């Protein structure tokens, strides 16, 4: 299961160091830092972060608000402003960019965590996704949040799960399912049908009434026993789901 990947755009070395410590303490992944808008754009292009923490006062001619305005013309992503400015004029400028939060320094650890978790959750559940014009030669072929992964709520955290880490998903009990990865079993309140309707991966295939399997992780299929082997575990293969699964596989006769 992947950690939330965060880019920090901050010109004050002291605040940058504090943010780095906070992100590490909260068990997120700070992928990079930038102290000006131009460098931030280059880093965003190279790293495709899940979320950006942006100071308003930056080195160079472009401030954090203008950076976010330019970014929204290129690619939608969750942005949180972290700043010392609490005046109405600055807040009015910032709010038209629709940030997911506006945090006043000094930052409190729990407030930062809550803002990050809510930003990721709200962004990943936003059903109205636009396709901004690529006037800066800055297109992404893969959307980090929607094409290679999905987010689930685990206790008080929202975690990203990559499709290629999932082995299978099973019905655990009424209204609950288990998502089984290479090294974890995550439980969430959801039905198999609801989850399948929400996720966008073609490799996750229903194999029986209680299981969805990652077709790319199947080691073998026993047609006699009507089972599949995934990660060393035998899972029943329902007759009504068999052909749908075979259609997904590169079966050479």
CA 16, CA 54: separation in Å to the nearest integer?
A: 11
Q: Please give the pLDDT value at position 174.
A: 73
Q: Where in the chain is the domain with CATH 2.40.50.1020?
A: 162-248
Q: Please give the pLDDT value at position 145.
A: 43
Structural contact between residues 9 and 77, judged by C-beta atoms closer than 8 angstroms: no
Query: β-strands 101-104, 79-83: how paired?
Result: parallel
Evaluate whether the domain defined by 162-248 bears CATH number 2.40.50.1020: yes
Q: Where in the chain is the domain with CATH 3.40.50.2300?
A: 5-124
Using pLDDT thresholds of 50, 70 and 90, give the confidence band for residue 253.
low
E strands along the chain, which residues? 5-9, 29-34, 51-54, 79-83, 101-104, 149-154, 157-162, 166-173, 176-181, 185-189, 204-208, 211-214, 218-222, 227-230, 233-236
Average pLDDT of every residue of the chain: 84
Between 88-95 and 64-72, two packed helices, what is the crossing angle to 10 degrees? 10
Burial per residue of 81-115, b for 16 or more beta-carbon CB atoms within 10 angstroms, e otherwise: bbbebeeeebeebbeebebbbbbebebeeeebbeb
Given this structure, which CATH class describes domain 5-124?
A: alpha beta
Condensed to tens digits (0 to 9), the pLDDT of residues 40-97 reads 998 888 888 999 999 999 999 999 999 999 887 666 789 999 999 999 999 999 999 9
pTM of the model: 0.56
Q: Please give the pLDDT value at position 72.
A: 74
């Amino acid at each position: 299961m992947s950690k939330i990947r965060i880019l920090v755009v901050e010109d004050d070395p002291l605040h940058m160091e504090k943010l780095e410590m906070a992100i590490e303490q909260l068990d997120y992944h700070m992928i990079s830092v930038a102290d000006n808008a131009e460098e931030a754009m280059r880093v965003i292009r190279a790293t495709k972060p899940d979320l950006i923490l942006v100071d308003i006062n930056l080195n160079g001619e472009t401030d954090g608000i203008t950076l976010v305005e330019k970014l929204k013309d290129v690619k939608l992503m969750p942005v949180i402003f972290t700043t010392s400015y609490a005046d109405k004029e600055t807040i009015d400028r910032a709010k038209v960019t629709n940030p997911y939060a506006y945090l006043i320094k000094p930052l409190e650890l729990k407030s930062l965590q809550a803002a990050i978790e809510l930003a990721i959750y709200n962004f990943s559940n936003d059903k109205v996704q636009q396709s901004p014009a690529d006037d800066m030669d800055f297109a992404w072929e893969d959307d980090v949040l929607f094409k290679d992964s999905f987010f689930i709520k685990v206790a008080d955290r929202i975690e990203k799960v990559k499709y290629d880490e999932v082995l299978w998903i099973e019905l655990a009990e009424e209204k609950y399912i288990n998502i089984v990865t290479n090294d974890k079993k995550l439980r969430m309140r959801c039905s198999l049908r609801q989850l399948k309707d929400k996720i966008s991966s073609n490799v996750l295939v229903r194999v029986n009434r209680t299981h969805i399997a990652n077709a790319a992780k199947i080691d073998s299929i026993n047609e006699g026993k009507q089972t599949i082997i995934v990660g060393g575990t035998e899972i029943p293969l329902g007759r009504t789901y068999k052909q749908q699964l075979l259609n997904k596989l590169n079966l050479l006769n």
